[in-house]
Amino acid sequence: SVFPHLTALQNLLLVEDFRSGGPFGRVFGARRKSARQEAETMLERVGLAHARHLYPASLSGGMQQRLAIA
């Protein structure tokens, strides 16, 4: 499932924030840059690199499914 108020890239970055689990569940600095690169790579793998700044409502059903899988 994806969050409708976040872009495709932000949805994938949120996963890393949840994984870090720190006191506030946020990633900063070098880890944030690394997480962004990983998220952009994942978007490329599922064919959504061109849609990284779009919100889920702007994506087709298939694109939303690929985002959820990523």
pLDDT averaged over 10-residue windows placed end to end, the chain, 70 residues: 94 83 67 89 96 96 94
Do the Cβ atoms of 4 and 35 come closer than 8 Å? no
DSSP state of 6: S
- Determine what percent of the chain is predicted with pLDDT higher than 90: 64
What are the extents of the domains in the chain? 8-69
pLDDT at residue 50, rounded to an integer: 97
SS (H, E, C) 20-58: HCCCCCCCCHHHHHHHHHHHHHHHHHCCCHHHCCCCHHH
Mean pLDDT score of the chain: 89
CA dist 61 and 70 (Å) reads 14
pLDDT at residue 23, rounded to an integer: 56
